[in-house]
Amino acid sequence: MTTPLNVDWPRNDYSRVPFWLYHDENVYALEMERIFRGPVWNYLALDAELPNPGDFRTTWIGETSVVVSRGQDGIVHAFVNRCAHRGAQVVRKTHGNATEHVCIYHRWCYSNEGDLIGVPFRRGLKGQGGMPSTFDPKQHGLRRLRVESFHGVLFGSFATDEANGAGRLESLYDYLGEFGRTMIARFFTRPIRILGYHRQMVHGNWKLYAENLRDTYHASLLHEFFVRYGLDRATQKGGVKMDERHRHNMNHAYAGTDSQDEARAAYADQKGVEVDRLQLRDTAFLKFVPEFPDGMNLAAPTIFPNFLLIQISNSLATRQIRPKGKDAFEIFQTMFAYADDSPDMIEHRMMQTNLVGPAGYVSMEDGEAIEIAHRMSATTLNDHTVVEMGGRGAIADTTHRLTEGPIRGFWSYWAELMDVEAAGGVR
């Protein structure tokens, strides 16, 4: 059983985060209860992954396995992947097409809408056994989630009753806000096709990755090849945008808006970051084909708590955070292209996606950095982070990317949901 938290925030603008919040078992249990199963909208899948009636895929909300399925009526349903009988996992495949789902344990059978449609020996055998006469299959379907879609992005919520914050749950439209709706609509301007999936396990707390996605400061330092090849530099035009409650954000940049001389001067004193150390003979994977009216080569909007959309040059993907205990999480990445892309463009996107995937540079380097931070913070639980790049006080959008404001925004909304807001807390 979870117990209420008592968090003594060193600063009320969330520029200091106690290390123990990443490592405490009770904190993690409360996150599963108040965030992932609370009054928020969690990313589930893309509508394009379920083109036909009966199509399904398994996904996760926090540590809860969820099935997303297109019913025979064409409507998308989501339900907990746990048999109503004895709690066994029902759907064991990652994806497929089915008219029904059968639990292997006792063969209870469910429709692809999650309704219980079959119980072996329900009426007994030869006048013996069976379920009570009062047993009603309608009362024993799989637990359903609320499902809403925006531009083909499917979100689900456990907030279907007051215990999970139904009275506090906004519509998906309002939850995303104008900011979130605009960012999602940017990516899904035309029909898409799925290219494939990446999975990466990271041995660290999921909040470290949520911070990492909002941390524009590290990108042009940790990912040295970004700097060297001009993909992402602090000297380039860009910035950070957030919604009004600072729970969602977007890091964005424009390649080619700085010079080599500017970059060389800016990074001259940065240890380990060398602008001119290596050059490529084949620059094909660096090629950027402009395809959005805004001209951004980097756009990475995040939607609290578990969703990232990312464009790095012409690589396009969604990422889902899947916590696996307080000390690990999985990043599940879905690569996509546009349905009318040429074969050459598909090949180009795939090449760039391999560059930034778990076997490439970006995700691999992020994973290692997060694991190091997680291990070392566990040794000093009474200490705290310093989140001050960009200044203290009010959390605000910027026209530069040397800021950790979105990280503080994440923690302000996290604290609200966890009922541990700092006294006089800054938003």
Q: What is the pLDDT of residue 272?
A: 72
Model confidence at 357: pLDDT above 90: no
Q: Which of 61, 345, 296, 346 lies closest to 194, judged by CA?
A: 346
Model confidence at 316: pLDDT above 80: yes
Could you tell me what percent of the chain has a pLDDT over 90?
Answer: 80
Q: What is the pLDDT of residues 117-167, one digit of tens each?
A: 999 999 999 999 999 999 999 999 999 999 999 999 999 999 998 888 888
Confidence of residue 253 (pLDDT cuts 50, 70, 90): very high
Model confidence at 274: pLDDT above 80: no
Can you name the residues that pair with 68 across neighbouring β-strands?
A: 57, 78
Query: What is the token pair recorded at 189?
Result: 């301007």
Model confidence at 58: pLDDT above 70: yes
What are the distances in angstroms from CA 386 to CA 16, 210, 222, 319?
5, 16, 18, 27
Q: What is the pLDDT of residues 66-92, one digit of tens each?
A: 999 999 999 999 999 999 999 999 999
Mean pLDDT is lowest, of 250-264, 294-308, 373-387, 399-413, for 250-264
Q: What is the pLDDT of residue 312?
A: 93
Span 14-42, mean pLDDT?
97
CA distance 294 to 281: 30
Span 398-412, mean pLDDT?
95
Q: What is the pLDDT of residues 182-232, one digit of tens each?
A: 999 999 989 999 999 999 999 999 999 999 999 988 988 888 878 877 888
Q: What is the pLDDT of residue 278?
A: 62
User: Which architecture does CATH list for 42-158?
Assistant: 3-layer Sandwich (2.102)
Model confidence at 29: pLDDT above 90: yes
Cβ-in-10-Å burial (0-12, 13-18, 19+) of 220 comes to: buried
Output 425 or 316, whichever has higher pLDDT: 316
Q: What is the pLDDT of residue 294?
A: 94
CA distance 351 to 342: 14
Q: Do domains 42-158 and 193-417 have the same CATH topology?
A: no
Please report where in the chains the tokens 């117990």 appear, as a residue.
3
Which CATH number applies to 193-417?
3.90.380.10
Span 399-419, mean pLDDT?
96
pTM for the model stands at 0.95
Q: What is the pLDDT of residue 221?
A: 87
The residues, ordered by sequence, that sit 6+ positions from 41 with a Cβ below 8 Å of its Cβ are 148, 155, 156, 157, 169, 172, 175, 176, 303
CA distance 212 to 192: 27
Instruction: Give me the residue spans of the domains in the chain.
Output: 42-158, 193-417
